[in-house]
């Protein structure tokens, strides 16, 4: 059952970079941004990650943890994270558990061929584990700033 706005997000556990296991219930008391992106080291995904990297301290000041999520394996994630100097962890969702939970797998087209891929989407979960904001079909320019603004407003409540 996909998560819906203003509802608690079902607890999950996922493998991430730096040998981390990310468990939502263990993050209570902190806001969480999950940004889903199609593929490591592609132009749009790199720019989006760099934008989150560049505003990382501002997210931390708003009591917000950031995690990138894609279906890439941990080795690919580790390389991407190191090359871009990301200060946040990347979650490997090879079994699509999180992608299904947040309903981000959509039909896409590339060179006339249809396939199922991740629709660039971002979710902001409050400190109590409730989904408060979602952005779907994200365009990269200006997006991270909008997420930061929402995180700041939520933290100020």
The position carrying tokens 């409050």 is 126
DSSP designation for 126: -
Q: Is 45 a catalytic residue?
A: yes
Choice among 45, 91, 104, 118 that is catalytic: 45
* Sequence-separated (6 or more) residues with CB below 8 Å from residue 82: none
> What is the distance, to the nearest Å, from the Cα of residue 156 to the centroid of all Cα atoms in its chain?
22
Q: Which helix (DSSP H) or strand (DSSP E) does residue 77 occupy? A: helix 74-84
Active site residues: 45
């Amino acid at each position: 059952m996909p998560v819906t706005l203003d509802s608690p997000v079902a607890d999950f556990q996922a493998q991430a970079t730096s040998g981390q296991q990310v468990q939502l219930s263990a993050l209570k008391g902190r806001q969480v941004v999950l940004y889903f992106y199609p593929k490591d080291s592609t132009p749009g995904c790199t720019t989006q990650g760099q934008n989150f990297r560049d505003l990382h301290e501002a997210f931390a000041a708003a009591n917000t943890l950031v995690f990138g999520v894609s279906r890439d394996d941990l080795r690919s994630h580790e390389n991407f994270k190191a090359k871009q100097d990301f200060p946040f962890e990347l979650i490997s969702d090879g079994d699509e558990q999180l992608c299904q939970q947040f309903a981000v797998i959509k039909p896409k087209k590339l060179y006339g061929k249809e396939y199922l891929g991740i629709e660039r989407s971002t979710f902001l979960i409050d400190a109590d584990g409730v989904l408060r904001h979602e952005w779907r079909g994200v365009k990269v320019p200006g997006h991270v700033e909008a997420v930061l603004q929402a995180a700041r407003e939520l933290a100020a409540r």
